[in-house]
Amino acid sequence: MKSFIESVIILKTHFFRVLTSLLFIFSGFIKVNDPKGFGYKLEEYFGVFGIDFLNPIATGLAISICVAEMALGIALLLGWQKRFTLWSLLLMMVFFTFLTFYSAWFNKVTDCGCFGDFLKLTPWQSFSKDVVLLVLVGWLFWRQHNLVPLGPGRVLAPIFAVFSLLSLGVGVYTYQNLPLFDFLPYAVGKSIPEGMKVPEGAPQDVYRDTWYYKVNGTVQEFTTEQAPWDITGAEFVDRKSVLVSKGYQPPVHDFSISNIDGEDYTEDFLLAGRCLLVTARVLRDGPADAWEQLRALRSTADSLGVRFAILTASTPEEIKAFETAHGIGWPLYITDGTTLKTMLRSSPGLMHLKKGTVVNKWPAGALPKPDFLLQSNPVF
């Protein structure tokens, strides 16, 4: 009986080993697929803890974390450097579990970014996921004597090294270009107008109001059900609203295009037959030759009647500096900075729309030649 129980425990340990390994590899790959997106999430955490000075290295740190996750995942699967791997995983999970608990308890970061934009988790779901992983790693740490290496060290070490280098290579490539797999609402083939729609009957935001009325000279709190306005002689002082439950939020929200004077042009661009949108959250971003290529693209677009616009969240001072460096007359429009980061991870970057549907996207380092616009009616 004792040997049977031990066999079951060993079998369970091997299952936990494979499951934990695959979860770490998958989580790391999903994030390294979009390192800038994970970097933006790290910046949110930096803001929560008052360490914004780390923002300049957020993306580099994001790539390092992703590569570490994948490397530890493959090391655990192979059984290579078992003790170091298990200690690293345990310390990592203790840290992440604290981080997600803090975020959930104080509602600081509404999505941990654990699985990038592939899978959104609420703060408490993120914490629960980390607790499960912490238990799995704890079990493996306890039963580490059952974790037999899959081969000799001289074979496993090169496999680990090659896998780690490939992971780093993916991170560098996606940083310089765009995500290999785009899970964002502005991915190629997605319709922006469709993404902005709210289905009929969709849940709405639910708020709880607290009313403050002065009754008999004393300010008191009341709920809406108590209808304090019906109290004789009650004098209104204040009202505070607290969000109880979040309603449906369409995939595309906070999307708008307005000119420098605040006039809205969103519908004009979404209804256009073809248009080119340059996303430049900060106009000083990007190499100078990218702006020269965009100038040529704009010239060809104008000659073919294709709408062209530069969407930015830059300040008036930054706009003036840009015009000093690159000349005046650029069709500059204002769009929310977070929306621009979601539309395209490159700044500047180029998005080709056809009646509001994304036809293609390019980063600053791989802008297309102007003659691509000569293709009539591009298809997906």
What local confidence, expressed as pLDDT, does residue 119 receive? 76
Give yes or no: residues 93 and 131 share one domain.
yes
Contact between 186 and 252 under an 8 Å Cβ cutoff? The reply is: yes
Q: Mean pLDDT, to the nearest integer, of 238-252?
A: 87
Quick check: is 190 in a domain? no
Give yes or no: residues 302 and 212 share one domain.
no
Quick check: is 182 in a domain? no
- At 372, the pLDDT band (50, 70, 90 cuts) reads confident
Domain end: 245, 274, 304, which one? 245
pLDDT at 325 over 90: no
pLDDT, tens digit (0-9, with 9 covering 90-100), for 203-218:
888 899 999 999 998 9
d(CA 29, CA 66): 7
Give yes or no: residues 225 and 161 share one domain.
no
**Strand partners of residue 15:** none
Give yes or no: residues 234 and 270 share one domain.
no
- At 4, the pLDDT band (50, 70, 90 cuts) reads confident
The 3-state secondary structure of 78-131, one letter per residue: HCCCHHHHHHHHHHHHHHHHHHHHHHHHHCCCCCCCCECCCECCCHHHHHHHHH
Under the phi-then-psi rule, with left for phi > 0, alpha for psi from -120 to 50, and beta for the rest, what region is 233? left
pTM value is: 0.83
Q: Which of 312, 304, 311 is nearest to 277 (CA)?
A: 311
pLDDT, tens digit (0-9, with 9 covering 90-100), for 223-244:
999 999 999 889 999 999 988 8
Domain end: 176, 193, 218, which one? 176
User: Higher-confidence residue: 287 or 37?
Assistant: 37
Give yes or no: residues 231 and 352 share one domain.
no
Domains in the chain: how many in total?
3
What local confidence, expressed as pLDDT, does residue 344 receive? 93
- Token pair 């969103």 is found at 266
Give yes or no: residues 119 and 233 share one domain.
no
Contact between 213 and 235 under an 8 Å Cβ cutoff? The reply is: yes
Give yes or no: residues 111 and 234 share one domain.
no
Average pLDDT, the chain: 89
d(CA 371, CA 303): 12
Peptide bond into 378 cis (omega under 30): no
**Strand partners of residue 311:** 279, 333
Give yes or no: residues 75 and 215 share one domain.
no
What local confidence, expressed as pLDDT, does residue 200 receive? 85
Give yes or no: residues 158 and 232 share one domain.
no
DSSP element (H, E) containing 240: strand 235-245
Give yes or no: residues 10 and 111 share one domain.
yes
Q: Mean pLDDT, to the nearest integer, of 165-174?
A: 95
Q: Are strands 332-334 and 307-312 parallel, antiparallel or unpaired?
A: parallel
Angle at 342 between CA 359 and CA 193, to 5 degrees: 50
Quick check: is 257 in a domain? no
What local confidence, expressed as pLDDT, does residue 113 receive? 67
Percent of the chain with pLDDT over 90: 58
pLDDT, tens digit (0-9, with 9 covering 90-100), for 100-128:
888 888 777 777 667 767 777 788 888 88
Write out the residue range of the structural domain in which residue 355 sits.
Answer: 266-374
- At 247, the pLDDT band (50, 70, 90 cuts) reads confident
* H-helix segments, the chain: 2-32, 35-48, 58-78, 82-106, 123-142, 153-176, 192-195, 266-271, 288-304, 316-326, 337-343
pLDDT, tens digit (0-9, with 9 covering 90-100), for 277-302:
999 998 877 777 889 899 999 999 99
Q: Mean pLDDT, to the nearest integer, of 64-71?
A: 95
- At 155, the pLDDT band (50, 70, 90 cuts) reads very high
What local confidence, expressed as pLDDT, does residue 147 receive? 87
Give yes or no: residues 126 and 164 share one domain.
yes
Quick check: is 380 in a domain? no
Q: Mean pLDDT, to the nearest integer, of 161-170?
A: 95
pLDDT at 379 over 60: no
Under the phi-then-psi rule, with left for phi > 0, alpha for psi from -120 to 50, and beta for the rest, what region is 272? beta
What local confidence, expressed as pLDDT, does residue 3 receive? 80
Give yes or no: residues 7 and 96 share one domain.
yes
Quick check: is 261 in a domain? no
Quick check: is 15 in a domain? yes
Quick check: is 196 in a domain? no
Q: Mean pLDDT, to the nearest integer, of 21-32?
A: 94
